[in-house]
Amino acid sequence: MSGFVHDNRGNIVDLEQHVDLEADVHFMRMEWALDKFAIPRDKLPEELEKITSPFSMRWSLFFSEDRPRVAVFASRESHCLYDLLSRHEAGELRMEIPLIISNHQALETAAQRFGIPYHYFPIAGENKAAQEAAEIALLREHHVDTIILARYMQILSEDFVREFPDRIINIHHSFLPAFPGAKPYHSAYRRGVKIIGATSHYVTSDLDEGPIIAQDVVSVSHRDSVEDFIRRGKDLEKVVLARAVWHHVERTILVYENKTVVFH
Amino acid sequence: MSGFVHDNRGNIVDLEQHVDLEADVHFMRMEWALDKFAIPRDKLPEELEKITSPFSMRWSLFFSEDRPRVAVFASRESHCLYDLLSRHEAGELRMEIPLIISNHQALETAAQRFGIPYHYFPIAGENKAAQEAAEIALLREHHVDTIILARYMQILSEDFVREFPDRIINIHHSFLPAFPGAKPYHSAYRRGVKIIGATSHYVTSDLDEGPIIAQDVVSVSHRDSVEDFIRRGKDLEKVVLARAVWHHVERTILVYENKTVVFH
Amino acid sequence: MSGFVHDNRGNIVDLEQHVDLEADVHFMRMEWALDKFAIPRDKLPEELEKITSPFSMRWSLFFSEDRPRVAVFASRESHCLYDLLSRHEAGELRMEIPLIISNHQALETAAQRFGIPYHYFPIAGENKAAQEAAEIALLREHHVDTIILARYMQILSEDFVREFPDRIINIHHSFLPAFPGAKPYHSAYRRGVKIIGATSHYVTSDLDEGPIIAQDVVSVSHRDSVEDFIRRGKDLEKVVLARAVWHHVERTILVYENKTVVFH
Amino acid sequence: MSGFVHDNRGNIVDLEQHVDLEADVHFMRMEWALDKFAIPRDKLPEELEKITSPFSMRWSLFFSEDRPRVAVFASRESHCLYDLLSRHEAGELRMEIPLIISNHQALETAAQRFGIPYHYFPIAGENKAAQEAAEIALLREHHVDTIILARYMQILSEDFVREFPDRIINIHHSFLPAFPGAKPYHSAYRRGVKIIGATSHYVTSDLDEGPIIAQDVVSVSHRDSVEDFIRRGKDLEKVVLARAVWHHVERTILVYENKTVVFH
């Protein structure tokens, strides 16, 4: 691959590799400058196919000026949403946020402050399928390719998830696989753990079972109440989610067998 | 309590308290010097009973020169055993180790090097009850009050555990409640976690469900093989176990509702 | 002390103590409910003085509904400011923010979004003393008792600092005492450290030498550029600063000999 | 490089690269199996020189069955020494330890237990140069290529250090560059830090200024005395040192401009 780039006058600016010896798979991420590159953009897929097909390689091609279009889903908690919006505004996350979707009206002010359209889709039992269909239509209309669940407290249906394979990023408020499901801080408190955590992962049809992207933890003690767990956990949640989103939009994550290779 | 100590010319050298508002229980640990203390040692329990009974307080009394007598149980992995023996020799752990018990012969050399009797109790299916009975007899003979399972790869029977309530300390090689049971590093590797951990806890009749004393974690990545998990996890195991043992022998742990209050 | 509270029908809801045996000083923080308290608020200082003066105790009294009035100082980086404003709005930080002061205009939008007056005090060499005098006048006018330097990139004069002893909280972007002064991430990168950190401390007249309130770190490697250090460091900065502010406004910090006792 | 290996029927089992864009240097570590390799061992250096010289590449070649010969230097503290010896015995560290050198007699028992010759070189002011000369002679005699300073409390002379460039590994008991020199835990305690650390680095003629290999930290609080710092710091010291030694003997460290590239 590096020979191919060099031969066509591409200047490699980043290169990372990983070999999973057990699975016998080679992973590679290469980033190169196109200034003097001999192959025009629109011919690149074709040329890549030519050189990779003999080796049964799978590849994806992204141009760094094509920013991922991201929809943020949130419910009532504001910490992850504000965190994403302020990072985005500061230029840390190279993506577009054409819209925010919520099953509550609580965070509309936050969206307005950052000038992002807010779409309210209340979910009440029987209307879920219809609401999801409407959401999907809206997401398509906005050419959204990635969804961030910023403490979105609704379980997406299998059909919905299937529309965005490896492109829905969730933050779960425990160090998975410990405490999946609802109210993990309460469960952690009852169990008397000395460490709490947060996990960001791609969403699959198995709840809280998707490929883990990032995790972090913080120490707690008997002096911490469940409210302390929640307060301190929020700091983990927003930082871990943002880290996962950063890697996703920088295209450094490769998903394989329900696991992730997260390059630098 | 502090009034009682002061009034009898005891000098408080350490005092920690904790109030569990939810459970409405008050915890306290007080350490005082007996040099000029007005009440003789053998009368202390009686006096303590007098002043505490009106408040339905439960108390334990330890004299710091009475070192806990500890039996270490190990199997084939040496890292926790050597770690405990070298800390003990250096004076970090104020306890006696009258004996080491193992279901293998592998670590006899380690025991000999530190001059500690090694008792080999092979466990093979049908002999377990008999072997445990022999172990308990031996432990009683040596006045053992605390057992450390230093990567002892045998599950103790309920009967055995009942003999040493809140006095058997285990190290489990995962951040519980994630990955209980056998081969947690292999499970963690398969799940693709980004953090691995170790948990020290008191043993109860529910496997890996006892009160947690200490936990710690270390970051891993896709570059880590399961062998790397095991190697890096060993550092956690020995440090987390030693930390739990230190708190236990310093008498700073209070167990309550399957949880621990671990004072400084 | 607890006797005093009990005798006057106060209900103690939180109590923490610390004894610095080396310095022979006892620290205590007690929080009690006033519902049925026998002593009226305005008589409390007098009564406290009576019972504490015989023991040469020093005390401070705060009522939890009296929220600290805090001025946030910022420059051009928005991450700490947005983090504080969104936590404040969510009710995590029980304080008032009557104003934001800046030596730049860059963050005026952020302030407007959260409806907080923004005061622009450009500092250019010779005008510093005059500008600081104007700032102090403004702070007095707003009855500000605490200042948060949320990545404020101006050194405050000794005179200014003297006005707010132990009441100016700074975030420094290194694990002090390593890398004090300007551009710590660049220095850390040059030194080749494997860990970077952030430190929140009270400001004294000695730059970056004040009592440390909170610190945290994150691992880095040879793969991290100085830009990565800065990006990842920002997460530390905002979380560490917020943690320090939380403890300050909850009145859990006691300053002593240029160190802090930070109760839970 | 990978072409060279493949063309000669070598099977690459590990490959890691790093590009320092700022310094414009490319680093690579490649490990391959020699079973069917076309070039005999003794010809390899010559062939490597041929293909690398046109690109002004610098290279080192190691065969994995050639284990580094390591001398451990220790003084009075046993924790790092026991830790290294027990890891070595368990097969974690693939190296030979032909001898232990000490300026004290305290740890002779430890050496004997693990069957390693112990050489006592007391250092007293004026005899240092002579003792170091004798040590160097002994090290040469044993073909020692790497020295581990396992809490060796003597500063090596510049002449000594020059004999083993990038081959003396020290553990310093602080997170450098904070608290270089003597008694770092006491300094950390006085400064009131909330985190303490340990740093493993290659020794250069500038004390505590050599290339950092590994660092780790642990949280402390006002409840920790300087003795607690020391006790808890020891756990960091032994783990951080062992981690650095592991990377060194696995040949995964590249030193460059007083910094290290530490491959997995």
Nearest to C88 by CA among C64, C109, C68: C68
| Interface-testing mutation among A1, A11, A16, A261, with chain D (most D C-beta atoms within 10 A) | A16
Contact (Cβ atoms closer than 8 angstroms) between residue C115 and residue A112:
no
Q: In Å, how far are B92, B193, B198, C110 from B217, measured between CA atoms?
A: 23, 12, 6, 37
Chain A residues with CB-CB distance to C234 below 8 A: 92
Domain covering C69-262: architecture: 3-Layer(aba) Sandwich (3.40)
Q: In Å, how far are C239, C240, C242, D174 from C214, measured between CA atoms?
A: 10, 6, 10, 18
Whether D85 has a pLDDT exceeding 90, the answer reads yes
Average pLDDT, consecutive stretches of 10 residues, N- to C-terminus, chain A (264 residues):
87 83 86 94 95 92 95 98 98 98 98 98 93 98 98 96 97 97 96 98 95 98 96 98 98 96 92
Nearest to D135 by CA among D164, D113, D114: D164
Strands D168-172, C69-74: parallel, antiparallel or unpaired by DSSP?
A: unpaired
User: What whole-number distance in Å separates Cα of residue C249 and Cα of residue C246?
Assistant: 5
Please give the residue of chain B at the shortest CA–CA distance from D77.
B90
Q: Give the pLDDT confidence score for residue A6 in this predicted structure.
A: 85
Q: Is D92 on the interface with B (CB under 8 A)?
A: yes
Written as one string, the DSSP assignment of A147-158 is EEESS--SPPPH
User: What whole-number distance in Å separates Cα of residue B101 and Cα of residue B156?
Assistant: 13
Task: Look at phi and psi of residue A202 and say left if phi exceeds 0, alpha if psi is from -120 to 50, else beta.
Answer: beta
Task: Look at phi and psi of residue D55 and say left if phi exceeds 0, alpha if psi is from -120 to 50, else beta.
Answer: alpha
For residue A101, give how far its alpha carbon lies from the nearest alpha carbon of chain C (Å): 19
- Does the distance separating the beta carbons of C21 and B19 come in below 8 Å? no
Q: Which of D178, D211, D221 lies at the smallest CB-CB distance from C175? A: D178
Whether B22 has a pLDDT exceeding 80, the answer reads no
Establish whether the linkage from the previous residue to D98 is cis, with ω within 30° of 0. Answer: no
Contact (Cβ atoms closer than 8 angstroms) between residue D100 and residue D72:
yes
User: What whole-number distance in Å separates Cα of residue A247 and Cα of residue A262?
Assistant: 7
For residue D154, give how far its alpha carbon lies from the nearest alpha carbon of chain C (Å): 24
Across the range D229-235, mean pLDDT stands at 98
| Interface-testing mutation among D239, D240, D247, D252, with chain B (most B C-beta atoms within 10 A) | D239
Residue B97: both structure tokens together:
């180790």
Residue count of chain A: 264
pLDDT band at residue B15 under the 50/70/90 scheme: confident
Nearest to A253 by CA among A12, A29, A26: A29
Helix or strand (DSSP H, E) at D167: none
Look up tokens 């917020």; give the residue: C242
Whether B224 is a known active-site residue: answer no
User: What whole-number distance in Å separates Cα of residue A73 and Cα of residue A115?
Assistant: 16
Across the range C178-193, mean pLDDT stands at 97
User: What whole-number distance in Å separates Cα of residue C183 and Cα of residue C185?
Assistant: 6
Q: Which residues of D are part of the catalytic machinery?
A: 208
Q: Give the pLDDT confidence score for residue A56 in this predicted structure.
A: 86
C-alpha dihedral, B122 to B126 to B131 to B133, nearest 10°: 170
Q: Cα A254 from chain centroid?
A: 12
Strands B118-120, B25-33: parallel, antiparallel or unpaired by DSSP?
A: unpaired
Q: In Å, how far are A162, D96, D197, D251 from D84, measured between CA atoms?
A: 51, 12, 19, 17
For residue D92, give how far its alpha carbon lies from the nearest alpha carbon of chain B (Å): 8
Cα end-to-end distance, chain D, whole Å: 19
User: What whole-number distance in Å separates Cα of residue D166 and Cα of residue D145?
Assistant: 10
Residue C200, beta-bridge partner list: C171, C214
pLDDT band at residue B125 under the 50/70/90 scheme: confident
Average predicted confidence (pLDDT) for chain B: 95
Chain C residues with CB-CB distance to B12 below 8 A: 19
- Does the distance separating the beta carbons of D223 and B264 come in below 8 Å? yes
User: What whole-number distance in Å separates Cα of residue D27 and Cα of residue B85?
Assistant: 42
- Does the distance separating the beta carbons of B235 and D239 come in below 8 Å? yes
User: What whole-number distance in Å separates Cα of residue D252 and Cα of residue D16?
Assistant: 9
Chain D residues with CB-CB distance to A15 below 8 A: 17, 19
Q: Give the pLDDT confidence score for residue D2 in this predicted structure.
A: 78
User: What whole-number distance in Å separates Cα of residue B145 and Cα of residue B204?
Assistant: 16
CB count in 10 Å sphere of residue B135: 23
- Does the distance separating the beta carbons of C89 and A79 come in below 8 Å? no
- Does the distance separating the beta carbons of A212 and B192 come in below 8 Å? yes
- Does the distance separating the beta carbons of C242 and A235 come in below 8 Å? yes
Whether D262 has a pLDDT exceeding 90, the answer reads yes
pLDDT band at residue C56 under the 50/70/90 scheme: confident
Q: Is B112 on the interface with C (CB under 8 A)?
A: no
Angle formed by the axes of helices A226-249 and A79-89, to 10°? 30
Q: Give the pLDDT confidence score for residue A60 in this predicted structure.
A: 95
Look up tokens 């044993």; give the residue: D142
Instruction: Tell me chain D's radius of gyration from C-alpha atoms.
Output: 20
Residue B171, beta-bridge partner list: B200
Neighbours of chain A (3+ CB pairs under 8 A): B, C, D
Whether C169 has a pLDDT exceeding 80, the answer reads yes
pLDDT band at residue B142 under the 50/70/90 scheme: very high
Residue count of chain B: 264
Nearest to A197 by CA among B219, D36, C186, D145: B219
Contact (Cβ atoms closer than 8 angstroms) between residue D73 and residue D135:
no
Q: Is B20 on the interface with C (CB under 8 A)?
A: no
User: Could you tell me the residue ranges of all domains in chain A?
Assistant: 2-55, 69-262
- Does the distance separating the beta carbons of C13 and B17 come in below 8 Å? no
User: What whole-number distance in Å separates Cα of residue D14 and Cα of residue B209?
Assistant: 40
For residue D8, give how far its alpha carbon lies from the nearest alpha carbon of chain B (Å): 27
Residue D167: both structure tokens together:
């081959």
Residue C35: both structure tokens together:
């519902």
- Does the distance separating the beta carbons of B18 and A222 come in below 8 Å? yes
Establish whether the linkage from the previous residue to B177 is cis, with ω within 30° of 0. Answer: yes
Q: Is C15 on the interface with A (CB under 8 A)?
A: no
Instruction: Give the three-state DSSP class for C171.
Output: strand
Q: Cα B237 from chain centroid?
A: 13
Q: Is A83 on the interface with C (CB under 8 A)?
A: yes
Q: Is A166 on the interface with C (CB under 8 A)?
A: no
Across the range C110-114, mean pLDDT stands at 98
User: What whole-number distance in Å separates Cα of residue B30 and Cα of residue B10?
Assistant: 11
- Does the distance separating the beta carbons of C13 and B21 come in below 8 Å? yes
Residue D88: both structure tokens together:
């070595």
Look up tokens 């590239």; give the residue: D261
Please give the residue of chain C at the shortest CA–CA distance from D188.
C177
Contact (Cβ atoms closer than 8 angstroms) between residue D120 and residue D134:
no
Q: Phi, psi (5° rounding) for residue B259? A: -130, 165
Q: Give the pLDDT confidence score for residue D21 in this predicted structure.
A: 75
CB count in 10 Å sphere of residue D43: 10
Instruction: Tell me chain A's radius of gyration from C-alpha atoms.
Output: 20
| Interface-testing mutation among C75, C235, C237, C241, with chain A (most A C-beta atoms within 10 A) | C235
Q: Which of D82, D90, D92 lies at the smallest CB-CB distance from B86? A: D82
Contact (Cβ atoms closer than 8 angstroms) between residue C116 and residue C99:
yes
Q: For B190-233, what is the HEC assignment?
A: HHCCCEEEEEEEECCCCCCCCCEEEEEEEECCCCCCHHHHHHHH
| Of B7, B166, B208, B228, catalytic | B208
Across the range B167-171, mean pLDDT stands at 98
| Of A24, A208, A224, A235, catalytic | A208
- Does the distance separating the beta carbons of B92 and D223 come in below 8 Å? no
Q: For C7-39, what is the HEC assignment?
A: HCCCEEEEEEEEEECCCCEEEEEEEEECCCCCC
Q: Which DSSP symbol is given to A40?
A: -
Q: Give the pLDDT confidence score for residue C162 in this predicted structure.
A: 96
User: What whole-number distance in Å separates Cα of residue B151 and Cα of residue D46?
Assistant: 49
Neighbours of chain C (3+ CB pairs under 8 A): A, B, D
Q: Is A19 on the interface with D (CB under 8 A)?
A: yes
Q: Which of B178, B211, B260 lies at the smallest CB-CB distance from A178? A: B178
Q: Give the pLDDT confidence score for residue D16 in this predicted structure.
A: 85
Look up tokens 């445990």; give the residue: B132
- Does the distance separating the beta carbons of A90 and C79 come in below 8 Å? yes
Please give the residue of chain C at the shortest CA–CA distance from D264.
C221
CB within 8 A of B234, min separation 6: which ones? B77, B79, D92
Q: Is A60 on the interface with B (CB under 8 A)?
A: no
Q: Which residues of C are part of the catalytic machinery?
A: 208
Contact (Cβ atoms closer than 8 angstroms) between residue C16 and residue C28:
yes
CB within 8 A of A94, min separation 6: which ones? A64, A67, A249, A250
Please give the residue of chain B at the shortest CA–CA distance from C21.
B13
Q: Is D20 on the interface with A (CB under 8 A)?
A: no
Residue B191: both structure tokens together:
């799940």
